[in-house]
Structure 1
């Protein structure tokens, strides 16, 4: 029971952190060189196309390598509009996630009622699923504004990233103590 509770709480925290960033943040004023950074067109670290202000762990970020795709100014505006168009949904999900997390925390404090804990865990899982659907919806809307060349580049970059992640996981598994 303890392992399940820890896993559910970790998921709840990740969901809350991601949705909090998506729901409350505004595009940040840029760093060096003005609001868009030196020649970055808003694509610098923490800029509107990164996982910062509107992104987050389980937030609205479309999980596309937008900075590497050389979006036009018009495309950047469209992405911004898509993200802002889903902001209220993100806020509502954040509130649902917080309520589900609070209920789970309450059900696993003191004498644990496994049935109640399982029910609250399922409720939290449902919110996580809703967040995944919303993120997928945002990704599809952003994908639709990319040119075929940008889509091909995004696919290539994502495949390379997944390969690096698999290699990293493999190295971590090899480092685990055997026994």
Structure 2
């Protein structure tokens, strides 16, 4: 890759990462840590659970899955945020360091990819907890979720 390609890659990755994830506490993504929502700290569960009535045992399993993945999620989120902050600072610095920017963009991209993969794995683990009827129920609720979230893909 030549210098122009590195700059284009760095710009593309930083723009995509900045657009996809807001800085913690600034209009979208809360600071790393326990998430709370309408139903408490377990609200980060994959959308596959919407509309599926879980037994207590299933809720415990889902909680364990979500709890087990949280340390990795926090680490990846921190790496992503720190890389983005450093890229922003580098972009407004007196002198632009191309190699450092490329390294930071790579770190941000790697962290974002790791978060995406973690979400996919977590979703698969949660789906495995559901009965076939609950999976069907979740699929039936998917079109309704898509209508509420125009322009976004369902889980």
Same fold (TM over 0.5): yes
Which range moved further: 122-131 or 137-146? 122-131
Q: 1:10 to 1:99 in 2, by over 3 A?
A: same
Deviation by residue 1:144-176 (Cα, 9 ceiling, x = unmatched): 0100011011122123322554xx44xxxxxxx
Match of 1:129 among 79, 98, 113: 113
5+ residue gaps, structure 1: 29-43, 56-60, 170-179
5+ residue gaps, structure 2: 1-7
Distance (whole Å) between structure 1 residues aligned to residue 126 and residue 59 of structure 2: 10
Q: 1:97 to 1:8 in 2, by over 3 A?
A: closer
The yes-or-no answer on 1:13 pairing with 2:22 is yes
The yes-or-no answer on 1:82 pairing with 2:69 is no
Q: 1:129 to 1:102 in 2, by over 3 A?
A: same
Match of 2:79 among 92, 96, 105: 96
Which range moved further: 128-137 or 102-111? 102-111
Equivalent residue for 1:46?
39
Any conservation in 1 of the 2:83–2:108 contact (CA below 8 Å)? yes
Equivalent residue for 2:143?
159
Any conservation in 2 of the 1:48–1:80 contact (CA below 8 Å)? no
Q: Secondary structure at the match of 1:132?
A: helix
Equivalent residue for 2:34?
25
Distance (whole Å) between structure 1 residues aligned to residue 90 and residue 116 of structure 2: 25
Equivalent residue for 2:90?
107
| Bigger relative CO (Cα 8 Å, ≥ 6 apart) | 2
The yes-or-no answer on 1:69 pairing with 2:52 is yes
Q: Secondary structure at the match of 1:107?
A: helix
How large is the RMSD of aligned CA atoms in angstroms? 3.1
Distance (whole Å) between structure 2 residues aligned to residue 7 and residue 112 of structure 1: 23
Q: Secondary structure at the match of 1:99?
A: helix
Any conservation in 1 of the 2:50–2:141 contact (CA below 8 Å)? no
Aligned length: 138
Q: 1:8 to 1:49 in 2, by over 3 A?
A: closer
